[in-house]
Every structure is written in C-alpha cells, then in structure tokens.
Structure 1
Amino acid sequence: MLGIGLAEQSGYFELLLTSVVEKAPGNLVLWVIIFVGILGNVAGDAAPIVIPPLAAIIFLKMGYHPVAGAIVGYVAPLGGFAANLIPGMSDALVYAFTEPAAALVDGSISLNVLMNYYFIAFSAPVLLVVIYWILKKYTLPRMGEYKPEGQKIQEAKEFSDRERKAIKWANWSFVLVVLALVALTVPSSGLLRNQETGSIVNDSPLMNGIGLIMTILFFILGLVYALAAGTMKNSREFSKMLSDSMSSMGSFIVIVFFAAQMMAYFEWSNLGTILAVSGADLLQDQSGMVLVVGFIGLTAIINLFIGRASSK
C-alpha cells in the first residue's frame, strides 16, 4: 500500500494509463483500452477513476457512443479486478486471509503472495477477449449512433512536458530496479535464492520478501516521478501522499479486527476441522468437475453482491 500508493498519489499511474491509451494504434485502440483497464488494477483505485472518462473521450472521437467507452473503462478494471500480468495490491491483501484459512486444513503449508500468479496471468488475456467480444457484439450496437448536436468535444487532461519527461525517468528507475532483482536472482549463488537448495520459488528470500520487494519497486518509481514532475515539493507533501495512500486501509483494518476474533474462536471451537470432515463426507461421491464448477458458481454469485476483496 505504501509503495503502490505513493506511485498513485504522485500522479504516475494517471499519466501512464493516459499515455498508453493515447499512443495506441487506431485499429488496436479498443483492445488497448480494455487491456490497460485490466492491468490497471495493479494501481489500486487509479484505473477505474482514470480510464472511464478517458475511454469516453476516445470513443467519441472515433465515432462511437461515449457512454459505451465509459462502460468499458469501468468494466475492464473492475471486471478484471485481480486478473493481471503484474502482482498488485489485491494479491498482498488476499494473501493475509488465504494463509490462515489454509492453515485450518494444513498448518505446515507454505504460501506466498505469488501463489495465485498462474491463474491471474492466464485470466488477463481471457478477460481481454471476452470483454472485447461483448463490446463489439452487444454494447456498441445497442448504444447506436451518437450525435452530439454541435456540442464541443471535451479534451483529455493535458500533461506538461515536465510531467512527460518525469514518467520516462520513473520508467527507467523501474527498469533499473528490475535488472538489480534479476542480477540478485538469476546467478546460482544469487542472494535472493534459497541458500541451501538454490531454489528461486521454495522458501527463498525472493518469494518470502515479495511484499517488501513490491513496496521498494513502486516506492522508488513513485518517488522518482514525484520529484522529477514537481508533484512533491517537500517532506510535508511526501508525508501526506503516504498518509492518503494508507487512509483507504481504514475500513480494511476494521474488518481485520473482527475477522481476527472470528478466526480465534473458530480455531478454539475446532469448527474448521468438523466442517472439513463433514464437507469431505458430503463431497465424497462427487466428481472433481462438480466440485470445481460448484465452487466457481458460488464465487460468481458472491461477486454480484460483495465488491470489496477483503469482504469476499
């Protein structure tokens, strides 16, 4: 939250998302808007705020209905939600719930923030195709032709030359940090490998410290952009950016307090073990497909009524 929050508060993510969409080739712009929206959830709340109005303006200039653009700009980051090619805040957030839940079944199980990566990475292109198909098949035809009747087309937010230069500096800082991580991981004697087994994944500093690594990565990126763009002029503004980025954690902390009490009583009562055994008996004669499809159906229904990841 501190690292990614600083990158968001500094204005880096807003300019990055806007720049990518603006520079997209005309025949690929719809694909790019959706793809940027899906990947944009790594920026937390920035994508569903930046993408809808930006997409509406671009759709209007392309001759499409702007409301269709606003819908796509909203659906892509929130429909994609946790799907991404880059680990984000949602992975670190949900990990805090997954680890104690898994411990109810097996206390020796080893988990990390990237345990869900294969699934979220594969989901991103699938959602890209599905959202694009629905847009072309249903949304655009139903919206019909848009006639502004002489209304002036609102322009997208303009960014200064200094801000555009700043994003280049920030991107280069991102590349340098990634190269440093590679240099510490790829060699057989790398510091981020498991020093006993040489593994990169199993019980390695890279996996065990992925939360801190993500914090440092986005923290440096956001700090470089803020200083280069002039969006942060003194330590007071720096402190405010960090405070604002953490303020969204308030409701999460409240939920965690009551969740912690529930988990403690749940463990004390052994209900987890009882439910696991009873559930195993109930599903004993069910096929794997029934179990998997049933769980996906339950999750889909929950998603319609509960929006926040921590609540899910």
Structure 2
Amino acid sequence: MLAGRRPARPEGPETTVAAPDALPPAPRRTLLDLVERIGNRLPDPVMIFVWMIGFLIVLSGIGAALGWSASLLFRGEAPPAWGELEGGRLVFRAESLLSEDNLARLFTETAKTLTGFAPLGLVLTVMYGAAVAERSGFFSALIRASLRGADRRWLTPLVAVVGMVSHHASDAAYLVFIPLAALLYAAVGRHPLAGLAAAFAAVSGGYAGNITPGQMDVLLFGFTQEAARIIDPAWTMNPLGNWWFILAIVAVFTPLIWFVTDRIIEPRLGPWGGGGDAELREELARSAPTADERRGLRRAGLAALAVAAGFAALALWPGYTPLIDETKAGTAALQPFYSALVAGFFVLFLAVGVAFGSGAGTIRSHREVFAMMGEGVRALAPYLVFAFFAAHFVAMFNWSRLGPIAAINGAHVLETLNLPAPALLLGVLGFSSGLDLFIGSASAKWSALAPVVVPMFMLLGISPEMTTAAYRMGDSFTNIMTPLMSYFPLILGFCRRWDPSVGVGSLLALMLPYALAFMAAGALMTGLWVVFDWPLGPGAGVRYVPPG
C-alpha cells in the first residue's frame, strides 16, 4: 500500500509471526499481468512492419488471383495514380506485389520511396529547430520556471496544464517535469507521489492534449495525408486541423486531474511527513532557473514574439501576402499558410533556442547551433529505421490496391449497418486504445491504421481530421496503464525515490483512476464533437465533402 512515512510495525503479543516453513501465497494473475506477458513477447515495432510487409505480399497475390476489386463514383479533378477511370467510376483492382512492374518498382525506387515518405521530411524539418531548443536548455528552464512559486492550492491544475503543454519538450517532459512535480509537492508538505501521479497523468495520459499544435500534429497528419490521398489526391494536411480539439482536451482533462489527485489519490496516500526536510529544500533550490537562464527565457520570449509577428505579416501585409492564395476564397485561401506552419515550427524552435542559449551562455557560436541540430538528427536514428520500413509498407499497400479496396468495401459494409458517425469514431478510439497496451509508438500504430480507416471514413463523410482526432484520443489514456510504455520503468524509479516499496502493481493502481476518468471523458467528448459538428481547428470540420 502506498502511503506517507508509515509507523514501524508494532511489537508485542498480538503480533503474528508466520511459521518458518510457511510458503507465501501464490500471486494472483490479473489482466495487467496478461497484458505485460503478451506485450513482452511482441517484437520491436520495426519487426512488426517487416512481418506486415511479408503478409501484404502474400495477400496481394491472393487478391490478384481471385480478382478482388472495388469502385466508387469519381468526383475529383485527377484520379490517383493507382486507380483507373471507367465510365465515370474509379476502379481499383488488386495487383500482386510480385508482379514484374511492382517488383521492379520495389528495387529501382527504394530511395525514392523513402524520401517521398511525407512524415519523414516533416519530422526532420521540425526536429532541426526543436533540437536546438531542447539542447540549449530552453525547454528544461521553461518547465522549471513555470512551476516555481506555485500556490499550494493551485499546484495540481498548474501541473496538469504544464504537463500537457510539455509535450513540445519531448523527453524533457518525462526527465525533468515529472520528478520536479513530485519535488514541489513534497516541498509544500503534500505527498510527492500525488504530484508525480498528476504529472504522469498529464504528460502521458493527456498525450493528445495541448495548447498549441506541435511536432506530434505534424507527424500524425503526415500519415493522414498519405492515407487521405487514396480518395482525394489533392488533399493536403493542415497542422492546425486538430487545434480546437487538443485545446478542449486540456480544458476537460485539467479539472479531471485536479479532482482525481486531490480527492482520490492524495487521501489514499495519506499525509506526507517530510515536507520540511532540509534536503528537499536544497534540491528544490537547485532546480530553480539561474540568473543566466532567466535572462535567456526573456530573450526567448522576445524571439517567439518576433517569429509570430513575422508570419502574421506574411499573411496580412497589404499587397504582399505570400502565405495567402488570393485566387481562392474562404478557408481555401489559407492553405499556403497552413502548409507553411511546418517551416514555422522550425523557425520558432530555432529562434527561441538560439535566443535562450545566447542569454544563458549555453550557445556561444554558430558551430554549437549546428552541432545541436546534428545531435537532434542522431536522436532520430531509431525513427529513421522505422520510417524506412513504414514508407515501404505504405507504398506497397498503394501498389497492391488493397488499401482502397479494403476502404471502399469496408465503407459499404458500414453503410449497410447504418451506424451513426459517433459509434464509428468510438470504434477507432477503442481499437487504438487497445493496441496502445501492446505497442507504445503512436506513429507506428497510425501508419498501419491510417491507410484503411482514413479513406474508409472519408467515403462515409467523416473528415481525415476527425478520424485523426479520434485515434489520438484513444492512443492517450491507456499510456499510463501499460508497463510496456517506454518510460514506465523510469516513472517507477522516480516513485521509489520517495517510497522504496512501490512496485509495478502499486504504480498501476495509482494511475487507474486517471485512466478510467480519461477514458470516459474522451469517449464522451469525441461523441459530442461529432453530434454537434464542432470545428476541429481552423479550416477543419467533422464532415468530409468530396471535391467536385
């Protein structure tokens, strides 16, 4: 049982001592134990894609031999390269990946397939800037400064908001923010494990929420774009396509974290008796931003304002609007602005990183800036390996025509069932949350699911942005309930810093109330969003209307 500083075990005649030869009771097998055992047997996500490619090759041969096909009424301007126009309908016929053309394409276009993989270029572009912001110390200093001097009563909601915003900081959210939250709780006399649980719930359980779009939006919408173009070749991603949705998650999850932490978790843990320890005070003092870091944060703030003003000028300056398509009306005119946001994130992160580093003394020359960019790319090495196989899986899925065939026929089946749109999206949410118990990578799951569910739901009138939002919601709340999450052992270590008796089961029990609350709220929020047809972001709605 988790608690504060527990009293010593009482001694005396009432104390029961087990016989020397007594055997401990056999541990009970739980659902979480089963999840852990199954998950531990799964291979690396890259190997999963290798298996999927092998299965796809076999399935494409079967589909071509059996004459699998599907068609839909064509209403676009230019058909996809892998479809054929026949009598006003776009027809897809299964092709074997072992055919001469496909086998030649596989080997002659290997490099082109990788470099043409949209998510790869998007992630690399943003990472060049984010690496400078992270390695200059900007993210770490910003997180530490944001929680300094927080009032004891408002500490939990502040931890919740900062935790969800800290997704922009990548690893720093786990390595800096979560242990700092525990330390701050202890310093004000509250139980540190309550602070740690609140921070972990915000960072990992609230993974879909944020105040502004960032790297994750760019990454996931890159996969969405590849999938959406199966139906609409002209569809272009909008990095702001989920902005209102992820902002609403912050608004909904913050009071949930506040209630669960202060009303359920902290009372269960009991009072904390070490809030006045000199050691805690000294450690908290060491976490405070230095004078140089505060100067760097001021410069970073000015740099952020300058970048925002520059992009606004490129869209609003009279007679000079390179980021606005003046030949179009409505939201279509803003497409260049949306497309430029990937470069905008790069410039923003680079500018604040350099500004902070120059003020804090962590960057002294341009050589250090370029070195940080290089370090950021090196950190992406595992993703680059994954991207190679994911790119070929997505491309081969298109070459075989199995993606559009599955999407079109699946859409026909769902049409006959006449399921409402909320039920369809809740199915995506539930499926992604189930997969999350075994496969932690959000991009790995979405790269495999998107080529089927995105075009399928487009045919049913649901926008790619709404399908992506449902997936993101489902991919979030189970993060805190699986020991297979990559940071779970780290969080367990942070817990044992305060209570050495904490085990895997203790941590899972600590996080279960958050997961259940997020699950219920996430499902309700997704359903209501569709029912009331609320916009998901600037220029992005729930419904998809085919072109033409």
Distance 1:24 1:200 in 2: 41
The match for 1:274 among 400, 405, 417 is 405
Closer, same or farther in 2 for the Cα pair 1:149/1:196, shift >3 Å? closer
Give the conservation status (yes or no) of the 8 Å contact 1:114–1:207: yes
Where structure 2 has 5 or more consecutive residues not aligned to the other structure, the ranges are: 1-126, 446-548
Give the conservation status (yes or no) of the 8 Å contact 1:31–1:132: yes
3-state DSSP class of the match of 1:107?
Answer: coil
Which residue of the partner structure matches residue 304 of structure 1?
A: 437
Shift in Å at residue 304 of structure 1? Answer: 2.6
Distance 1:149 1:265 in 2: 58
- After superposition, give the CA deviation of every residue in 1:241-265 in whole Å (9 maximum; x if it has no partner): 1122222321111111111211222
State the percentage of identical aligned residues. Answer: 30
Which residue of the partner structure matches residue 207 of structure 1?
A: 338
Shift in Å at residue 12 of structure 1? Answer: 0.8
Closer, same or farther in 2 for the Cα pair 1:186/1:200, shift >3 Å? farther
Counterpart code for 2:418: Q
Matching of residue 108 in structure 1 with residue 234 in structure 2: yes
Which residue of the partner structure matches residue 217 of structure 2?
A: 91
Shift in Å at residue 179 of structure 1? Answer: 1.8
3-state DSSP class of the match of 2:163?
Answer: helix
Matching of residue 179 in structure 1 with residue 334 in structure 2: no
Distance 1:237 1:110 in 2: 35
Give the conservation status (yes or no) of the 8 Å contact 1:185–1:191: yes
Shift in Å at residue 123 of structure 1? Answer: 1.5
- After superposition, give the CA deviation of every residue in 1:125-175 in whole Å (9 maximum; x if it has no partner): 112122222212321122111223985325222432122112101111111
TM-score, normalised by the number of residues in structure 1: 0.92
The match for 2:426 among 285, 293, 302 is 293
The match for 1:241 among 372, 378, 388 is 372
Which is further off, 109-118 or 258-267?
Answer: 109-118
TM-score, normalised by the number of residues in structure 2: 0.54
Distance 1:276 1:150 in 2: 61
Closer, same or farther in 2 for the Cα pair 1:108/1:176, shift >3 Å? closer
Higher share of residues assigned helix? 1
Closer, same or farther in 2 for the Cα pair 1:269/1:165, shift >3 Å? same
Give the conservation status (yes or no) of the 8 Å contact 1:185–1:200: no
Distance 2:361 2:276 in 1: 38
Distance 1:253 1:35 in 2: 31
Counterpart code for 2:394: M
Distance 1:143 1:94 in 2: 38
Shift in Å at residue 26 of structure 1? Answer: 3.6
Which residue of the partner structure matches residue 59 of structure 1?
A: 185
Closer, same or farther in 2 for the Cα pair 1:255/1:293, shift >3 Å? same
Closer, same or farther in 2 for the Cα pair 1:293/1:150, shift >3 Å? closer
Matching of residue 218 in structure 1 with residue 349 in structure 2: yes
Closer, same or farther in 2 for the Cα pair 1:174/1:200, shift >3 Å? farther
Which residue of the partner structure matches residue 510 of structure 2?
A: none
Counterpart code for 1:229: A
Closer, same or farther in 2 for the Cα pair 1:256/1:42, shift >3 Å? same
Closer, same or farther in 2 for the Cα pair 1:94/1:239, shift >3 Å? same
Closer, same or farther in 2 for the Cα pair 1:278/1:237, shift >3 Å? same
The match for 1:74 among 177, 180, 200 is 200
Distance 1:94 1:43 in 2: 17
Distance 2:275 2:425 in 1: 52
Closer, same or farther in 2 for the Cα pair 1:230/1:201, shift >3 Å? farther
- After superposition, give the CA deviation of every residue in 1:4-62 in whole Å (9 maximum; x if it has no partner): 22111111111111111114344322111110010110122222221112111111122
Shift in Å at residue 197 of structure 1? Answer: 2.5
Which residue of the partner structure matches residue 155 of structure 1?
A: 283
Shift in Å at residue 200 of structure 1? Answer: 6.1
Closer, same or farther in 2 for the Cα pair 1:25/1:187, shift >3 Å? farther
